């Protein structure tokens, strides 16, 4: 028996609430609700299938990995898109986030044979607000509105979060606290 999981960075609850309001607006006006099936997040490792017997080794590996990283700041500014279906909050370039992705992807591939199916593409961190069920027509309408909308967020990434799919939606399964630099020495 297996289950679907993914690994992400989640902003604090107050920011999740603000992003959720944007997602509700898109749902109500442009008929896209797929983003409501997971908490607002920045994906590190996209969904993968995992046998139940491999869950404990994954959690041990993520706990060890998190202890080697310090919390860091993530800035988001404005909206961007992957036409013709995805609108997202733009994550500003961040060398710490890029290195975190490269290192966690390598750790999971080497130690647990969990592979990022998109590893051949450059990592493009983002926080999705509309996708998959956004029709091309509604994408054009929504993108015309959101492309120039000003918005910015900043948050401290303090946890790696493992999310599990329950057959309907994604739920937080466990969190792994990043260690402040002085604690990881």
Torsion, CA 160, CA 15, CA 23, CA 141, rounded to 10: -110
CB 119 within 8 A of CB 23: no
Tens of pLDDT, residues 111-139? 999 999 988 999 999 999 999 899 999 99
Query: What CATH number should be reported for the domain whose range is 2-180?
Result: 3.90.1140.10
Tokens of 99: 């290195």
pLDDT for res 182: 64
Helices (H), 53-151: 55-66, 95-112, 136-146
Q: Where are the domains of the chain?
A: 2-180
> Does 184 score more than 70 pLDDT?
no
**149, pLDDT greater than 90:** yes
- pLDDT per residue as tens digits for the range 53-91: 999 999 999 999 999 999 999 999 999 999 999 999 999
Residue 166 scores a pLDDT above 60: yes
């Amino acid at each position: 028996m297996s289950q679907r999981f993914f690994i992400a960075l989640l902003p604090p609850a107050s920011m999740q609430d603000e992003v959720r309001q944007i997602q509700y607006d898109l749902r109500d006006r442009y008929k896209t609700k797929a983003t409501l099936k997971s908490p607002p997040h920045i994906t590190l490792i996209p969904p993968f299938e995992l046998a139940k017997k491999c869950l404990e080794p994954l959690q041990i590996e993520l706990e060890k990995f998190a202890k080697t990283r310090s919390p860091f700041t993530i800035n988001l500014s404005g909206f961007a898109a992957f036409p013709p279906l995805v609108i997202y909050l733009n994550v500003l370039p961040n060398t710490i986030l890029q290195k975190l992705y490269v290192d966690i992807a390598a750790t999971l591939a080497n130690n647990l044979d969990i592979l990022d199916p998109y590893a051949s593409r450059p990592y493009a961190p983002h926080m999705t607000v509309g996708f998959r069920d956004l029709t091309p027509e509604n994408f054009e309408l929504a993108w015309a509105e959101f492309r120039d909308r000003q918005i910015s967020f900043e948050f401290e990434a303090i946890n790696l979060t493992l999310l599990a799919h329950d057959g309907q939606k994604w739920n937080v399964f466990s969190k792994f606290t990043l260690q402040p630099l002085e604690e990881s020495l």
